[in-house]
């Protein structure tokens, strides 16, 4: 792979190369289009880790994405400075920072209500209905998409099809930003045990074209290696998960500062670091802020160091590791400790578990209702539609499928509508559909 192709100024949805305007580069346009989109704004009412928290300091998908974007910009600028002599004419280190920041801002834009619990709820609903006649005519690949509903793939669909220009380019982002966004540039067939992939069958032609124009190395049918800048986006996300999820756990009283402090010192790369505030009666929030900046700086240094060292492998498409895991051993061990304490102490929290089980009921009601309406429209004439299905399709507005669309496309459009909901709207609508019954 080479930077001339990887950083093309081509923009999806346009026949010509992206043009620069006064005060704003073509990559800054990507950033602004994401920031001002409705899908991005709705992330403010979607779960990050803790569903519908009553504590206003707890991260939502929106605050998480903004913070990941901030880290991603720093990583990009640092990496861009290292490869400045390799960049195409007119592309600067700041541009690299903006590309990664934009991808970071959009990396969760396709996630459904209630975070990962929402993903599992949608997947399980379809998996429990493998023999349902409503899905008998679907191909194996289409079945797999529905049964492996994936926020990453839906995010790719949102930015290229759904948001702003409906089925006409979406946000019309540049190819480098789209390439950097694709953490798993392959279809569900290559998703493995965890079911991770970034492209449904509906966007497969686009992925093929995008991979070709960016010059991504193909390793299998409908599978390509990741864009080198995607590894920096991944590192930005991991940095925020490692530190900020621990902060949320302290805010909710699930962990104490003293329990988290040794992990943060590992991430700082200095087990002996001390600050006067640690010996005071200051709040845990104030104490952790004394460590946050140092830890982030050290983790950025480590990730950029590995990026520089592994650059030949990244450009060859042979690197398959993680920048933070392959760098500073203290960072690696700190990340492992953060994940371990989250698994043991944070995720089993009773309130979190109760709300996630409730999310299954809410999304089950919504998916059943909208899928049934799409099925009825596909199998009946308009004048034979039940009153209920007619109203359900009406709720979807411009997102409702047309009667001539394939059944698979219709189901995907139903999932577009459901996954775009906030936690509160999904809860409200499921309650209304259930006739006011609490769900």
What's the CATH number where 330 sits? 1.10.3410.10
pLDDT at position 391 is 94
The answer on 114 and 135 residing in a single domain is yes
Largest CA distance in the chain: 74
For residues 19 and 255, give the distance between their C-alpha atoms in angstroms, rounded to a whole number: 50
Range 259-277 burial, b when 16+ CB lie within 10 A, else e: ebbebbbbbbbeeeeeeee
The residue length of the chain stands at: 439
For residues 92 and 70, give the distance between their C-alpha atoms in angstroms, rounded to a whole number: 18
For residues 116 and 58, give the distance between their C-alpha atoms in angstroms, rounded to a whole number: 17
Question: Can you give the residue range of the structural domain that contains 112?
Answer: 3-224
Tell me the pTM: 0.93
**209 inside domain:** yes
Closest CA to 234 of 82, 109, 103: 103
List per-residue pLDDT tens for the chain, 439 residues long.
Answer: 999 999 999 999 875 555 666 667 889 999 999 999 999 999 988 877 666 666 677 878 999 999 999 999 999 999 999 999 999 999 999 999 999 999 999 999 999 999 888 999 999 999 999 899 999 999 999 999 999 999 999 999 999 999 999 899 999 999 999 999 999 999 999 998 888 999 999 999 999 999 999 999 999 999 999 999 999 999 999 999 888 888 888 888 888 889 999 999 999 998 888 888 888 878 888 888 888 889 999 999 999 999 999 999 999 999 999 999 999 999 999 999 998 998 888 877 777 778 778 888 999 999 999 999 999 999 886 668 899 999 999 999 999 998 889 999 999 999 999 999 999 999 999 999 987 655 4
Select from 224, 259, 279 the last residue of a domain: 224
Cβ(95)–Cβ(28) below 8 Å: no
For residues 224 and 183, give the distance between their C-alpha atoms in angstroms, rounded to a whole number: 11
pLDDT at position 290 is 85
CATH number at residue 48: 1.10.3210.10
Q: Helix, strand or coil for residue 47?
A: strand
The answer on 260 and 390 residing in a single domain is no
**229 inside domain:** no
Cβ(238)–Cβ(68) below 8 Å: no
The answer on 355 and 332 residing in a single domain is no
Count of domains forming the chain: 3
């Amino acid at each position: 792979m080479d930077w001339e192709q990887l950083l093309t100024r081509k923009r999806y949805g346009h026949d010509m190369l992206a043009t620069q305007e006064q005060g704003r580069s073509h990559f800054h346009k990507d950033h602004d289009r994401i920031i001002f989109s409705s899908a991005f704004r709705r992330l403010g009412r979607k779960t990050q880790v803790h569903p519908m928290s009553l504590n206003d300091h707890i991260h939502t998908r929106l605050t998480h994405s903004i913070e990941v974007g901030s880290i991603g910009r720093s990583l990009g600028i640092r990496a861009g400075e290292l490869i400045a002599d390799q960049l195409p004419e007119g592309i600067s280190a700041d541009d690299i920072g903006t590309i990664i920041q934009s991808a970071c801002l959009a990396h969760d834009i396709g996630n459904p209500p209630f975070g990962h619990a929402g993903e599992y709820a949608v997947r399980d609903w379809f998996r429990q209905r493998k023999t349902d006649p409503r899905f008998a005519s679907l191909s194996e690949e289409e079945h797999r998409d529905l049964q492996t509903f994936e926020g990453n793939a839906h995010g790719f669909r949102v930015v290229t099809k759904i948001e702003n220009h409906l089925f006409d380019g979406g946000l019309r982002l540049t190819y480098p930003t789209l390439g950097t966004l694709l953490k798993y540039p392959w279809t569900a067939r290559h998703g493995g045990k965890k079911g991770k992939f970034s492209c449904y069958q509906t966007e497969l032609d686009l992925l093929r074209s995008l991979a070709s124009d960016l010059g991504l190395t193909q390793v299998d049918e409908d599978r390509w290696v990741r864009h080198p800048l995607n590894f920096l986006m991944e590192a930005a996300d991991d940095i925020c998960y490692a530190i900020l999820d621990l902060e949320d756990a302290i805010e909710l009283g699930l962990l104490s500062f003293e329990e988290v402090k040794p992990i943060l010192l590992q991430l700082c790369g200095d087990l002996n670091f001390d600050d006067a505030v640690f010996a005071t009666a200051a709040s845990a929030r104030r104490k952790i802020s004394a460590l946050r900046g140092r830890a982030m700086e050290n983790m950025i240094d480590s990730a950029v160091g590995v990026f520089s060292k592994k650059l030949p492998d990244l450009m060859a498409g042979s690197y398959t590791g993680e920048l933070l895991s392959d760098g500073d051993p203290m960072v690696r061990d700190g990340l492992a400790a953060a994940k371990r304490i989250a698994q043991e102490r944070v995720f089993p929290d009773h309130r979190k578990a109760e709300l996630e089980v409730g999310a299954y009921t809410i999304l089950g009601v919504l998916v059943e209702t909208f899928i049934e309406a799409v099925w009825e429209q596909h199998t009946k004439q308009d004048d034979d539609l039940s009153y209920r299905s007619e109203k359900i399709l009406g709720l979807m507005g411009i997102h409702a499928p047309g009667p001539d669309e394939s059944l698979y496309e219709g189901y995907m459009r139903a999932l577009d509508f459901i996954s775009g909901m906030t936690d509160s709207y999904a809860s409200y609508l499921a309650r209304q559909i259930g006739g006011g019954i609490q769900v």
